Structure formats: structure tokens, C-alpha cells
Amino acid sequence: MHCASCAVLINTILQKQKGVQSVNASFGAEKLSIAFDPSIIPEEKILSLGKSLGYTFLSEESKTEEEFKKERESHIRDLRNRTIVSFLLASPIIGYYMAVHMLNLQHVHGIMVGSLFVDLNWIYLAMTIPVQFWVGWIFYRNAWTAFKVGSTSMDTLVVLGTSAAFFYSLIGFLFATTYGHLQTIWIGLDHPFWESSAALMSFLIMGRYLEAVSRGKVSDAVSKLLQLTPEKAILLDKDNEKEVLASELKKDDIFIVKPGSKIPTDGIIIKGESALDEKIVTGESMPVNKKVNDVVIGGTVNSYGLLHCKATKVGNETLIYQIVRMVREAQATRAPLQRVADWISERFVPTVIVLSLISFNYWYFVRGDGFTPSLLFMVATLIISCPCALGLATPIATMVGTTKGAESGILIKGGEALEKAHKITAVAFDKTGTLTKGEPAVTNIVSLKGTTNEDLLKLAAIAERGSEHPLAQAVVKKAKEQKLEVVEPENFKTISGMGVTAESNKKTIMVGNQLFMEKEGINIDEVKDEVTRLRKEAKTVVFVVYDKKVIGCLALADTLKEHAIAAIQALKKRKKEIIMITGDNEETAQAIGKQLGIDRVYANVLPDKKEEIIESIKKDGKIVAMVGDGINDSPALAKSDLGIAVGSGTDVAIETGEIILIRDDLRDVVTAIDLSQKTIFKIWQNFFWAFGYNVIAIPIAAGLHLIITRHSGLPATWVTSLGSILALIPAIGHEVSSVWLSLSQSALRPEIAGFAMAFSSVSVVLNSLLLRLYKKPKFIDS
């Protein structure tokens, strides 16, 4: 596709076909997504329709990433070559005629070579023809394609404008050469306008080349993710190391990763430990410690240890491949804003053609300004109009936004998700596994006089070491984190529903709940006040008894995830209402809600009732995002205005979510909303420029400013006064004032109009690329 009008043309024609349910051609992503009924319209017919439109539809399976890249590079090379040839041929013509017009020099018709008079116009004609028809062939081809199916595009305007300038000059020159001055008077031509035709094509092809280069940078950012995985891998085959291509690895193969090397594919560690640099996938700046049974991601870098890993996912199943697939699918979707731009683009070209004819008729028949100046007004109007800037406003910004999200570990499934995210007024969170870790941890150690916290925890861990209970494992984990020695206990016993007993140093250790203490006749009055306080905080309390005497207690709870408080605070700062929906009891839910500063808490909610609560919140007029990680969150994610799935959760939640957080970091919820706001703002900037450019440029090209300043009776002092006001603009005031005063006295030349049109599209692309400078918001961790 050569411009945004191509996407509109493909969408329009294919949508009319019987059996086609939906079509989405994205110029930015160079993708076509189409849903159709093959029993009504076979795939062969769709491919044939594409060919009749001048496009070849290639299935993603039919070509490799490298082949697509080579085709794109070949297209850019072709545009570059056309640009170079165009300027080599056009520059002498443009330079000569600019000197004639700007310096008021006398036109030189020819030069004497010996006794032979050589008319320069024949030379200029010979130089202009390849610019018009070889360089400009792509414009003619695309305009003809659109014409064949009863449509128009930006290429239609280019062909009409440049052809009018070229053929008018050609016919005038040939007739003047044949019939002398009489024909010159008849057609009103004092000299051929080769420079208009040559300059127009040169500037237009240069604009298209620069646009293609800029768009290539957006596409390359995603493609680079696929290049992160190494080409080679070390396969362990019966204790023999063998270097193979990473693409040859199969599921369950054992491979070795040496320090400093990249992981060749997704897998789990079966031997060794290290720290992996995962920032290319998750955006996490610090290396992540890994040990046996931990997951490793293809493309990440092994810092120091020798790892033996078993491949669990290969080829297009790997996380990096899935990220690229999701991002590309997202980039191929159209945001609702894009549909407005497409609607305008469809009607834009016919409207401009009508306006150019009105301009010609006004200046020729009403004002009587002669054929040549009237034609130049028409050509300038045709050329300066730019529907492509409108068409590019949304897709390029969306592509950069989704790519930037992927680089930060945030997968945004399309422009619609981006557009919805910035409108969110309320964010609902699941509790377990989303706000909290979903596993108990020791939060408080309360030791009585004569016992240190370390001794209390150590004795409790020794007793709990033989238990598989989650609370017991949390106690042992806490002791190991504090580097305490947890020896093997003797005479270990589990008392169901109460606790455990064990012996160490020939003394009995008991760890259990209040019911266990009462059964064993242990007095717990010394810690009663602390227990009451901890239970009000929705924590589970276990008592620790050593040698038949209570020495303290431990409080356990499902602890908050790291950065949860910072994320909630950042959302509240952005005026979002925070809601928590959980199946946990009221006391625990309220305690977590209070700790986080949550506005609304819904407790004792069964999984199938979560979506009902989301529906009721929406009825209150809120635009709701739901953040969840489990299977039971999927209905609520689907029911909400925007589903955000935490990447560490289940595949079902991830499929249902419109935004996926690869990292288990709730701050990315804030980043996703913030990035969406920046992207939508960038789209509106693009729209403002594209609309503003056309609204201002088309009337100027048609000569409206001359009608106002020369023919409306407006005093000349008003024109100069406005020039003085414009001069006050900081930094660029003098230049703006000069342009205004110059324009107020003369018509806009077609070649300047062509230059303006070419760079209007490029400016929209470059403005969108500024999103690549986006920085994540800063957070205050509590």
C-alpha cells in the first residue's frame, strides 16, 4: 500500500462483497484482517479482487519475517532511486525558472552552439518526461486502479494536478513552436511551466520516500523483538554438547546456557541458578534471580551461572513470538477515531476536485485573469490537498504506542483498547493474586520476655519443617529468608485442624491455633491483647510453645504485592475511583481495603457474581477497567469497559484481557493508562495538524487570500497590520510575517503546494514517532 487512501479503497471494495463480515486494512501495519464465509466467497475470489485493485495479498505463513523485511527494503530503495533521479533531472529546470521568477530575469529561449540555435525548452522537455512518467508512474498506476473500481485516492489528485501542468505546457510549447506568437496569445502561455511539473513530482516522490522510511522505523521496532533470540543453541544429547540452530530445538530438549549467553527458547531450569536480564521482554531493569524449576524466557540474557534447561515452548509458541503476534494484531486494528478519518478521506478527493474546478472558473470566467494563472490556481488546489495526513493520523500513532507498550512489558490489543483506556474513570481489582500475592506470609513476630524474635521464628520453623500446610511453609520460608538454621525435628506429629508438635534439643515445640492451645491447657493470656489487635487486621495468628510454655506468636496474612500501594496512590492521584471485588470475608477485605486506601470494597462475592457488580458500577455512569489474573476473573474482564489481565495469571484471563501486563507489577496499570492518554493526545495533535493544514492550505491555493486582500475592498493597511501582529510571535514571528505579506500579494505556486503537501504527511509520521521518547510515570513507593 502506497498511502492511507489505499487502505480506505481496500476496505470499501471488500466490505461490499457478499459473504464478507468484516474488513480491516491497516496502511500503517501493512496488514489486512478479513472475516468471511468461504461457502459464499472463496478465498481465491478475495485474492483475485486484491489483484484487480493492484495489490497482492500475502498470507503471513507464506513468507518469513526476513522475506517481508527484504520486500519493504526493496520498496524503500525503489522510492529512493526515483527521488534521486527526479532531483537530478528536475534541479536544473527548477533552479533556472526560480531565478527567472524570483529575480525577474529575462527568459532565455535558447543558446547558439556554433551556427545551430538550440531551444532550451526541448532540453527541459526531455528532462521533464522521465520525471513525469517514470518517477511518477506509481501515482498514475494507483490512480488508474482506483478509477477502475469507481473510486478516487490521493494519487488521483496528484495525477490530475501534475498532468494538467505538464500537458498544458507541452501543448502550448508545441503549438507555439509550430505556429509562432499567434498560438502563444491564444493559449496565454509566455513560457512552458516545466518546473511546476518537475518540481511537483520531485517533492511528492521525496515525501513518499521519507514517509516510507519513517514508517519502516515503526515496523522495525517490533521486528527487532524476534531478533533477540540467538541463532545457535547448545543441545545436551546423552551428556554430549552439540551446537544446533535455535530453531531446531524441540519440546523437552535439554539445552545449556553459558554465562553471558542468551536463552534460545522458553523453558524451565533443571540444574543451576543465575540471574537473568529480562528487560527486553518485561521492561524490568534489574536482573531476576532464577533457580531450579523457575521459568526462563527465550531472548533473555544469563548473567553468571551455568544453566541446564528443558525446552517447554519452541517456535511460534514462545513468549516473544506471542508478544510480536499480539502487537501486530493490535496494530492492524482500527481505532474508532480512525473510522471518522476514513469517512472523511472517502469524500475528500471528490470534494477537492470540485473546489479546484470552482477556483479555475472563478479566476478565468469571473475575474478574467487568463487561462494560465487560472490553471495554476486549479493545479495548486489539487496538489496541496492531503487526505493522507488524515489517514495517517491514527494508525502510525497507534503503532508507536502499542510498540512502546510492548517494550515496557504491556501488551495493548489494538487501537480500541488504547482509546478506551484514557477514558477510564474507575478501576476494579480482584484481591487474591492481583492486589495480594495469593499466598500467606509471616507479617508479625511477637516474642515474650526472655525470647528473641529470631529464636521464636527458628523454633517455629523447626516444628513446621515437616508440614505441607501453606501456613507452615510460610513460616519456614521466613526463617530461611532471615538465614536462620532450621534443623530436622524429631518426633514430628500433625494434629489435624490445630497445628503440629515436634522435639528439638529434647524439648517439645508446639505451633498451632487457639483451639490447640486450649486443648493442651496452655495459658495464652500474656499475648491476648496482641492477638486481638492482629485479628482486627484480618491476620491469622499461630501460637508458639516451647517446653510447655508459650513464648510468643506469629501473625500470617496474604500480603500485598510489591508496589500495590504505589499503583493505587498513582491511580487516585489521577482521579480514578478504586474498587476491590473479592470472594474473601468482609473483615479481611476491609482490612486490605483500608491498607490500600480503596474507595469501595465488595466482599464475599462469588465468581459468577463479579460481572454483575461490574454491570452495576457501569450503570452508575462509570467507565470501568477490571484488573484480574484468574479464571474466575474472566467474566468480569469481559463485562468491563476495559479488561486488564495480569501476565502471571491464567491463559483464560490473558485471552479475555484487552491489555496484558507481562510483569506482575500493578504499576503497569498506571503506565498503560498513561501511555494511552499520551497516544490519544498525539492522535488529536495529528488530526489538528491534518485538518488545520487542509482548512488553511486549500483556500490559499485556490486564491481566497487574494480575493480578500485585493478584491474585497480590504484596506492595505489591514494586511500590513496583521503582518506586524504576526511578527510578535516568539522565535518565528519574523518568518511568519514575511510569508503572510508575500502570500497576500501573490498566488501560491504549484511546486510550493506540492512541497507543502509532501511534508504534511511526513510531519504527521514524525510527530507520531515522538512517542518513542515516552517515559514511564514516576511512583512513590510506601
Alpha-carbon distances, residue 12 vs 67, 98, 129, 243, 421 (angstroms): 29, 42, 34, 52, 29
Burial 301-336 (b: 16+ CB within 10 A, else e): bbeebebebbbebbeeebbbbbbbebbbbbbbbbbe
Residue 196 near residue 748 (C-beta atoms within 8 A): no
Alpha-carbon distances, residue 25 vs 4, 9, 100, 352, 566 (angstroms): 10, 9, 47, 24, 40
Counting Cβ atoms within 10 Å, is residue 553 exposed (0-12), middle (13-18) or buried (19+)? buried
DSSP class of residue 366 equals I
Residue 247 near residue 233 (C-beta atoms within 8 A): no
Q: What are 219's three cell numbers?
A: 515496523
**Alpha helices (H) along 620-663:** 634-639, 651-656
Classify residue 368 as left (phi > 0), alpha (psi -120 to 50) or beta. Answer: left
Nearest to 234 by CA among 312, 313, 292, 308: 308
Query: Scanning the structure block, which residue is given the C-alpha cell 527568459?
Result: 107
Q: Is 430 a catalytic residue?
A: yes
∠ at Cα 532 (530, 536), nearest 5°? 115
Query: Which candidate in 155, 266, 369, 430 is catalytic?
Result: 430
Q: Would you say the C-alpha torsion 505, 511, 517, 520 has a positive or negative sign?
A: negative
Residues listed for the chain: 782
Burial 86-113 (b: 16+ CB within 10 A, else e): bbebbeebbebbeeeeeeeeeeeeeeee
Local structure of 562: helix, strand or coil: coil
| Helices and strands (DSSP H and E) totals, the chain | 29, 26
What is the rounded CA–CA span in Å between residue 73 and residue 65? 12
The percent helix, strand, coil of the chain (3-state, each to 5) is: 55, 20, 25
What is the rounded CA–CA span in Å between residue 674 and residue 422? 7
Residue 454 near residue 482 (C-beta atoms within 8 A): yes
What is the rounded CA–CA span in Å between residue 601 and residue 613? 11
Residue 539 near residue 443 (C-beta atoms within 8 A): yes
What is the rounded CA–CA span in Å between residue 121 and residue 251? 71
Residue 262 near residue 225 (C-beta atoms within 8 A): no
Which helix (H) or strand (E) segment holds residue 13: the answer is helix 4-15
What is the rounded CA–CA span in Å between residue 474 and residue 319? 31
Catalytic residue IDs: 430
